[in-house]
């Protein structure tokens, strides 16, 4: 292959990614009090060593009760900031852009660790009060969330900005706002979870209001030279839920606020949606948002083959490939993909003997 799109640079604002391969945010459920530790250094650092152009830290709570579980990362205090600094610096030292996904899990918070079943915590396990746009539990047996008041919504805006401030101090070059997978901002967007009757519920304009306010507040604070991503679920996969048409409208509004790329995932709003999972199953949504809203998009979801990733980019379906499970299987996927595509990339000098 003479010219690989996958290994061509991508520039957004002042940041240039050395290639179009990103490590998608993946929860590790391995933090204590929201603090990153050695596990996160090795997990994230090895993906940077492996050649990805961008590494995005997992969904990181902007406040304690915004975490999915007690094992999830947080960024609301100085101690967490200091623990992130060496990890961020290591990622950047590999020539990789360091990003972080800021999140609030809403009604899907206060759950046990994934490998313990991920079920809602009991009071004996330290359960906390969950929140959402409406007092509707995610599923039977889940906590019924407290319906947020308008003053509480306004406080959440400040929480996101505060975490963005800490992220900047830690050295992160990119923020992704988590508005997908049935977590708080997606809960406001979807009519399945938002039954409010005030200015934050009802029609599409009102349901978009809180997520757009968060994007606007973070973009206003976040330096103009640094990019801002938003992850969405482009469909709930359920009739009368959130869908691609609404996602395009939403993406246009996000673009107007200065968001640089829409990371297009799907699902998560309801527990029993029928999702046709398969290689590249979410790519059509990245393509639809890219063309419909005229904004850069990222494709994610069971993209494992370098030739498939190349085709997605070459055909204009997306601008960036985000990889999750395949990066867990092979942290050096970018280096191996380059070889398959006939692209000459530089391995870490410490691993130079591999190419001899």
CB proximity list for 99: less than 8 A, separation 6 or greater: 22, 54, 55, 56, 57, 172, 173, 174, 175, 176, 229
End-to-end Cα spacing for the chain:
22
- Given a contact cutoff of 8 angstroms between Cβ atoms, the answer to whether 184 and 127 are in contact is no
Token pair of 276 as six digits: 């046709």
Closest CA to 164 of 87, 234, 216, 126: 216
Dihedral sign for Cα atoms in the order 85, 90, 94, 99: negative
| Residues acting as catalytic residues | 183
For residues 162 and 62, what is the distance between their CA atoms, to the nearest angstrom?
8
For residues 292 and 323, what is the distance between their CA atoms, to the nearest angstrom?
24
* Total Cβ atoms within 10 A of residue 323: 26
- Given a contact cutoff of 8 angstroms between Cβ atoms, the answer to whether 8 and 20 are in contact is yes
- Given a contact cutoff of 8 angstroms between Cβ atoms, the answer to whether 332 and 51 are in contact is yes
Which of the 8 DSSP states describes residue 74? B
Q: For the purposes of burial, counting CB atoms within 10 Å of the CB of 205, is it exposed (0-12), middle (13-18) or buried (19 or more)?
A: exposed
Phi and psi at 239, nearest 5°, equal -60, 140
CA angle 196, 111, 179 (to 5 degrees): 45
């Amino acid at each position: 292959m003479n010219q690989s799109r996958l290994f061509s640079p991508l520039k957004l604002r002042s940041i240039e990614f050395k290639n179009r391969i990103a490590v998608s945010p993946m929860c590790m459920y391995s933090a204590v009090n929201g603090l990153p530790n050695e596990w996160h250094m090795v997990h994230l650092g090895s993906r940077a060593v492996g050649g990805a152009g961008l590494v995005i830290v997992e969904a990181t709570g902007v406040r304690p009760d915004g975490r999915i579980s007690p094992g999830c990362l947080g960024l609301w205090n100085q101690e967490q900031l200091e623990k992130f600094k060496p990890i961020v610096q290591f990622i950047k030292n590999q020539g990789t852009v360091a990003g972080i996904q800021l999140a609030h899990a809403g009604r899907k918070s206060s759950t046990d660790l994934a490998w313990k079943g991920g079920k809602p915590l009991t009071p004996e396990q330290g359960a906390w009060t969950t929140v959402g746009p409406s007092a509707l539990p995610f599923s039977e047996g889940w906590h019924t969330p407290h319906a947020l008041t308008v003053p509480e919504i306004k406080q959440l805006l400040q929480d996101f900005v505060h975490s963005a401030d800490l992220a900047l101090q830690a050295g992160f070059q990119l923020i992704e706002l988590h508005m997908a997978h049935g977590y708080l901002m997606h809960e406001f967007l979807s009519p399945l979870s938002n039954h409010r009757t005030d200015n934050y519920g009802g029609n599409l304009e009102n349901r978009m209001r809180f997520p757009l306010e968060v994007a606007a507040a973070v973009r206003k604070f976040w330096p103009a030279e640094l990019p801002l991503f938003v992850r969405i679920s482009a469909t709930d996969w359920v009739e009368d839920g959130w869908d691609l048409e609404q996602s395009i409208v939403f993406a246009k509004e996000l673009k107007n606020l200065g968001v640089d790329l829409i990371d297009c995932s799907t699902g998560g709003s309801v527990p029993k949606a029928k999702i046709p999972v398969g290689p590249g199953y979410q790519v059509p949504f990245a393509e639809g948002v890219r063309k419909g809203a005229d904004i850069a998009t990222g494709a994610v979801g069971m993209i494992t083959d370098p030739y498939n990733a190349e085709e997605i980019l070459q055909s204009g379906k997306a601008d960036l490939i985000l990889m999750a499970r395949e990066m867990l299987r092979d942290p050096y996927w970018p280096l191996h993909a380059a070889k398959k595509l006939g692209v000459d990339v530089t391995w870490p000098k410490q691993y130079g003997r591999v190419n001899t």
